[in-house]
Amino acid sequence: MATRKKNDPQQPDLRADGSPAKPADAPKSPESTNGNGDTHVIAEETPAVVHRPFLPGEIEMPLHRRVDTGFLQYASYVIRDRAIPNLEDGVKPVQRRILWTLHQNDDGRFIKVANVVGDCMKYHPHGDASIGDALVVLANKRYLIEGQGNFGNIYTGDPAAAPRYIECRLTQLAREELFNDEITRFIPSYDGRNREPVLLPSKLPLLLMLGTEGIAVGLSCRILSHNFPELIQAQIAILKKQPFKCLPDFPTGGLMDARDYADGNGSIKVRAKIKEKDESTVVIRELPPTTSTESLIASIEDAARKGKIKIKAINDFTSEDVEIEIKAPSGVSAQQLTDALYAFTDCEVSITSRIIVIKNNRPVELTVSEVLRENTDQLVRLLQQELELKKQQLEDELHFRTLERIFIEERIYKKIEQCKTNEAVIAAVFDGFKPFRKELLRDVVDADVERLLQVRIRRISLFDIQQHREQMDKTRADLAETLRHLKNVVKYAIGHLEALLEKYGPQYPRLTRSSRHEEIDAKEVAFKSFKVAYDRESGYVGYKVSGDEFKIDCTKFDKLLLVFKDGHFKLTELPEKFFVGPDLIHVGLPDRERVFTCAYTDREASYLKRFTFGGIILNKDYRCIPEKARILFFAPDTPETLYIRYKPAPHQKINQQTCNPSDVDVKSPKTLGRQISIKDISSVTAEPTRGWDKEAATTKVMFS
């Protein structure tokens, strides 16, 4: 590998591209500093660089610089030209190219989608799969593309048929509101053989109408679709300087809680529409967005497997409309099942909105109101351009009709019969119009003369002056109306929007109804689907243990309180199968208000206490009796009477006693308790046991 020694005076320092570097004492380029303290080098003229030959084995550019440059170029391309929609026309490049292709081939008839994809590949360099998928999505949104054939099912998630079997065309709304070639700016396509629009001159708020998702390099957007008539009404309100509010609307329907939508920078909760068919059956009629009948049923079955809900059967009768029937098992009402479906399945989804768009060739984050105001300003600008263009066309038409009338009525065409050359013919026409200059809108130019000379003899001989005057009067009326609209473009824009609303509003009713959802506590609606048990012989506890002790019905969210013979206790998550050993004396659900009764003994005396466990940290060991003490009796709640038997001892007169535990105050687990006796206790029970002498005198414990 050819290398150069460091600081070799025989070889000059070279840049990464192989050109000589500046010596250390060369004058530096002037610099400027912005308000943030960042320094920028001001570009200056440099002499032409003479590149030296590339030597084999050398790397022209360091790898990290090459990676950085390539990554930034790729990130910029993905953000601007693939994933993020443009604010002005509201579509991504692939969607724009599909619409332009349909416009180019539009003759009112349906076109094979395969043909549209093939033609669109002249503009889109990323293959046919992305074009076909994007076209199907646009067709299913109903506004711009009308489909014929199987374009998939938005309810079931079934895919569309192959492109060779389905057809499409532009809707009338798209034809009228998206295209105007005379005010569209074009650029060459990627191979230079065709031209494509930079942006479509859209007069519709497509960004919010269609909604979109895009994931770029380090950037993503999620724009929710909105109701078309409501967007038009909001634009009218903007032009009239009135307040407005827009909420999302989804083709699958559902019930929406948009309290946290925050003008497009928050989130919404959307629920499936569930109706109770009878006491134990519910039917899902509408789906939340981002779900299908297949994914929704899968989430319900998954929740049932995990024990979060109980269901008896699921039947999917979906065809043109959604109909999923769910039957609850005995003991579970339809209302309980509905609450559980919202809490544990995709019957309720939360969707976050983030409106990021390309504006002035760079990504920006906006709100719904800002997007609508930008779209409304663009609508006014486009309408003004169209009016000015129409005004120019009407003036040109009126000018030529006037020229044509004078040319024929005043027989100017007769003057060119004697002319021998083309220059003489043109000069004769110009001279013939000089006496009538006051009747013309502007001076006669060469193009006017060329057009007049192309008028056929048949047209001259059949010229109807009355019909011609009527056509001129109509043109003047159209021109006057156009000038009137130009004087008040805002009023004209309001009329344009009102006409759109009247024509297309009934076709696009709101599908997602707005409502305020009551928050469902998942713990409250969870089913007790887990049966916990303890097997003392094996030492395991959990809902996958087949034991006979401490059987409890639990929910997925429940915790277990475990108390052991040595007096320590802990709180644990609901276990499948957890080894605790043979010394467990209590398994239960934690309850801060529940009172427990405990009798224990140490080397000096025996004690009785009542306490509540209170707040416990998960998986942390606690003690309810002192170390080296031994539990004699432990039970939840408070027995009416405790029966205490003492071990026999010389000169001991009292061998058994009773006590009333309710005489002991309720305190914390750390309390010492009330002393029962200093005698050795044989047993403490809540019922008289075998060996209890019912005829012997029994005294009552006097707590000290």
In angstroms, the CA 271 to CA 525 distance is: 17
Asked if residue 78 belongs to a domain, the reply is no
Active site residue 165: yes
Asked if residue 641 belongs to a domain, the reply is yes
Domain boundary among 51, 72, 93: 72
pLDDT of 520 reads 67
The helix (H) or strand (E) run that includes residue 474 is: helix 465-487
655 plus 531 within the same structural domain: yes
- Give per-residue pLDDT as tens, 455-467: 776 666 666 777 8
89 plus 68 within the same structural domain: no
668 plus 588 within the same structural domain: yes
22 plus 146 within the same structural domain: no
Q: Which of 321, 332, 258, 312 is nearest to 284 (CA)?
A: 321
Question: Do the Cβ atoms of 563 and 586 come closer than 8 Å?
Answer: yes
Under-70 pLDDT residues of the chain: 1-61, 457-463, 517-525, 695-697, 704
Catalytic residue from among 74, 77, 165, 190? 165
Asked if residue 238 belongs to a domain, the reply is no
Distance (Å) of CA 550 to CA 538, 563, 592, 619: 14, 12, 19, 20
Burial label for 683, CB within 10 Å (0-12, 13-18, 19+), is middle
105 plus 168 within the same structural domain: yes
Question: Do the Cβ atoms of 323 and 285 come closer than 8 Å?
Answer: yes
Domain range enclosing 412: 382-507
502 plus 622 within the same structural domain: no
545 plus 678 within the same structural domain: yes
Asked if residue 119 belongs to a domain, the reply is yes
Q: Which of 612, 613, 605 is nearest to 678 (CA)?
A: 605
* CATH for 137: 3.90.199.10
Q: What is the number of helices (H) and of strands (E) in the chain?
A: 16, 36
Q: Which of 160, 139, 153 is nearest to 292 (CA)?
A: 153
Amino acid occupying residue 348: E
Number of domains comprising the chain: 4
110 plus 187 within the same structural domain: yes
Backbone angles phi, psi at 81, to 5 degrees: -115, 10
pLDDT of 692 reads 78
Domain boundary among 72, 95, 118: 72
663 plus 546 within the same structural domain: yes
Asked if residue 256 belongs to a domain, the reply is no
570 plus 678 within the same structural domain: yes
pLDDT of 94 reads 94
Domain boundary among 198, 223, 239: 198
pTM of the model: 0.74
* CATH for 476: 1.10.268
619 plus 578 within the same structural domain: yes
Asked if residue 257 belongs to a domain, the reply is no
Question: Do the Cβ atoms of 633 and 597 come closer than 8 Å?
Answer: yes
Question: Do the Cβ atoms of 573 and 565 come closer than 8 Å?
Answer: no
- Give per-residue pLDDT as tens, 459-497: 666 667 778 788 888 999 999 999 999 999 999 999 999
Residues 6+ apart with CB under 8 A from 265: 353, 354, 355, 365, 367
Asked if residue 416 belongs to a domain, the reply is yes
Sheet strands (E) in 55-125: 111-112
Helical ranges in 306-436 per DSSP H: 334-344, 368-409, 422-433
Asked if residue 4 belongs to a domain, the reply is yes
Question: Do the Cβ atoms of 631 and 625 come closer than 8 Å?
Answer: yes
Question: Do the Cβ atoms of 16 and 65 come closer than 8 Å?
Answer: yes
107 plus 191 within the same structural domain: yes
The helix (H) or strand (E) run that includes residue 599 is: strand 596-601
Strands 219-223 and 255-257: unpaired
In angstroms, the CA 365 to CA 266 distance is: 13
